[in-house]
C-alpha cells in the first residue's frame, strides 16, 4: 500500500536549463514521506520527541522525464524491506498524468539522539505503509574509481540556510551541491544520481570537492571535510541539454 499526495511544481524550482532541479525532486519526495509518516505514525516530530531520528545513508534516483512549472504531480511513497536489523528502506515515485517522471530508493538508519549511534530499527514501533522494493537500474552501493582518478574541482562552505534541525547540511541539498561542480552544468541534465552520505557537515564547514570523469556523461564526486573525513560520495549520470 502506498501513500499519495498531489502538489504543483513551483517556477522557482526550475533551473536555467528548464528542468526541475535535483534538490527539488528530493525535497518533494521527502515532503511526501513527511506527510505519510505523520498520517500513519509516528511522525518525524514524534520520533524526535522519543529521542530518535531516521538518518539517510544512501539514496538512488532515476529521472525519466522533465517536469515544468505548474505541472500537477502525484507523489507516492512507501516503506520497504532493504537490509538487516539496522537498516530500513523507503521508496518514492513522482507521476504526471499517471506516468512516472522520477523514482527513488533510500536506505535509513535509526539514530539514538542521546548516544549518537544507530540502534535496531525495531526499537521504535511504526505503522508505515509498506510495499515491494523498487528495482532501479543503479546499484545500491557505489563503486567509485580509484583515488588517483579524482581531481580537486573546488571548495564550498556549508551555510546556515542549508542546515536542518540537527545543524548539519540537509541531505536534499547535496544533489544541487555536486551538480554545481559538473563541467558546464547549464548544458547537462541529470538523469540518474546516487548519493552516499558518510559523515555530516555542520554550518561553517568548508568542503573540498573532488570529481572523476568517467566519460559518456558519467561523473563521480567525493566531498571531504577539513578533518580529512569523507562527507559524501556520489555518481551523477547526465545527458546533454539540446
Q: What pLDDT was estimated at residue 59? A: 95
225: pLDDT strictly greater than 80: yes
Does a structural domain hold residue 133?
no
153 and 83, same structural domain? no
For residues 176 and 113, membership in a common domain is answered with no
65 confidence band (pLDDT: 50, 70, 90): very high
C-alpha pair distances (Å), 133 with each of 86, 125, 190, 219: 17, 20, 23, 26
Q: Could you list the residue range(s) of the whole structural domain that residue 34 is in?
A: 3-123
Q: Does the pLDDT value for residue 242 go beyond 80? A: no
Q: pLDDT band at 135, cuts 50/70/90?
A: confident
Domain boundary among 90, 123, 156: 123
What is the rounded average pLDDT of the residues 109-128?
94
How many distinct structural domains can be found in the chain? 2
Q: What is the CATH number of the domain that holds 164?
A: 3.10.129.10
What is the structure's pLDDT at 170? 94
Q: Would residue 227 count as lying in a domain? A: yes
pLDDT tens digits, one per residue of 169-221: 999 999 999 999 999 998 899 999 999 999 999 999 999 999 999 999 999 99
Residues 37 and 82 in one domain: yes
Based on the domain organization, do 81 and 157 belong to the same domain? no
**Residue 158 to residue 164: CA distance in whole angstroms:** 12
Centre a 10 Å sphere on the Cβ of residue 238 and count the other Cβ atoms it contains: 20
Rounded Cα distance, 13 and 69, in Å: 8
**Do 103 and 62 contact (CB within 8 A), yes or no?**
yes
Asked if residue 152 and residue 52 are part of one domain, the reply reads no
Residue 142 lies in a domain: no
- Confidence tier at 87 by pLDDT (50, 70, 90): very high
| 57-75 mean pLDDT | 95
Distance from C-alpha of 229 to C-alpha of 15, rounded to nearest angstrom? 31
Q: Is the pLDDT of residue 139 over 70?
A: no
Concatenating the DSSP letter of every residue in the chain gives --EEEEEE--GGGB-TTSSB-HHHHHHHHHHHHHHHHHHHS--HHHHHHTTEEEEEEEEEEEE-S---TT-EEEEEEEEE--SSTT-EEEEEEEEETTEEEEEEEEEEEEEETTTTEEE-GGGS-----B-PPP--SS-SS--PPPGGG-EEEEEEEPPGGGB-TTSBB-TTHHHHHHHTTSSSGGGEEEEEEEEEE-S--BTT-EEEEEEEEEETTEEEEEEE-TTS-EEEEEEEEEEE--
The answer on 153 and 99 residing in a single domain is no
**pLDDT confidence bin for 166, thresholds 50/70/90:** confident
> 118 and 16 in one domain?
yes
- Is the overall model pTM greater than 0.85, yes or no? yes
Q: What value does the mean pLDDT of the chain take?
A: 93
Mean pLDDT of 78-95: 93
8 Å CB contact between 107 and 89: yes
Does 119 lie in the same domain as 7?
yes
Same structural domain for residues 93 and 154? Answer: no
Domain boundary among 62, 90, 123: 123
> d(Cα 178, Cα 186) in Å, to the nearest integer?
13
Domain membership of residue 141 (yes or no) is no
If asked whether residues 53 and 89 sit together in one domain, one would say yes
51 located within any domain:
yes
- Determine the pLDDT at residue 154: 97
Say if residue 151 is in the same domain as residue 99: no
- Position 82 scores a pLDDT of 87
Sign of CA dihedral 22, 81, 87, 50: positive
User: Does residue 187 sit within a domain?
Assistant: yes
pLDDT of residue 241: 85
How far is it, in rounded angstroms, from Cα 64 to Cα 132? Answer: 20
Q: How far apart are CA 90 and CA 222, in angstroms?
A: 24
pLDDT value at 137 more than 70: no
Based on the domain organization, do 11 and 105 belong to the same domain?
A: yes
How high is the pLDDT of residue 140?
53
Cα separation of the two ends of the chain: 39
Q: Which residue, 117, 9, 107, 111, is CA-closest to 67? A: 9
On whether residue 135 sits in a domain, the answer given is no
Residue 136 lies in a domain: no
Amino acid at each position: 500500500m502506498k501513500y499519495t499526495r498531489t502538489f504543483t511544481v513551483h517556477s522557482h524550482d526550475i533551473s536555467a536549463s528548464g528542468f526541475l532541479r535535483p534538490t527539488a525532486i528530493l525535497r518533494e519526495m521527502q515532503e511526501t514521506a513527511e506527510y505519510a509518516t505523520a498520517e500513519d505514525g509516528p511522525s518525524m516530530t514524534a520520533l524526535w520527541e522519543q529521542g530518535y531520528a531516521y538518518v539517510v545513508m544512501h539514496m538512488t534516483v532515476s529521472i525519466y522525464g522533465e517536469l515544468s512549472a505548474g505541472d500537477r504531480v502525484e507523489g507516492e511513497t512507501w516503506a520497504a524491506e532493504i537490509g538487516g536489523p539496522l537498516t530500513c528502506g523507503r521508496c518514492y515515485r513522482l507521476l504526471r498524468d499517471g506516468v512516472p517522471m522520477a523514482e527513488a530508493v533510500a536506505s535509513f538508519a535509526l539514530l539514538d539522539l542521546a548516544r549518537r549511534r544507530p540502534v535496531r530499527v525495531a526499537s521504535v514501533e511504526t505503522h508505515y505503509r509498506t510495499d515491494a522494493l523498487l528495482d532501479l537500474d543503479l546499484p545500491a552501493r557505489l563503486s567509485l574509481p580509484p583515488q588517483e582518478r579524482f581531481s580537486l574541482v573546488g571548495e564550498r562552505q556549508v551555510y546556515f540556510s542549508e542546515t536542518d534541525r540537527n545543524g548539519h547540511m540537509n541531505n536534499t541539498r547535496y544533489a544541487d551541491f555536486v551538480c554545481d561542480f559538473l563541467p558546464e552544468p547549464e548544458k547537462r541534465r541529470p538523469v540518474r544520481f546516487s548519493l552516499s552520505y558518510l559523515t555530516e557537515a555542520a554550518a561553517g564547514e568548508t568542503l573540498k570537492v573532488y570529481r572523476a570523469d568517467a566519460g559518456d556523461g558519467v561523473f563521480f564526486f567525493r566531498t571531504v571535510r577539513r578533518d580529512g573525513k569523507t562527507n559524501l560520495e556520489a555518481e551523477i549520470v547526465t545527458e546533454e541539454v539540446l
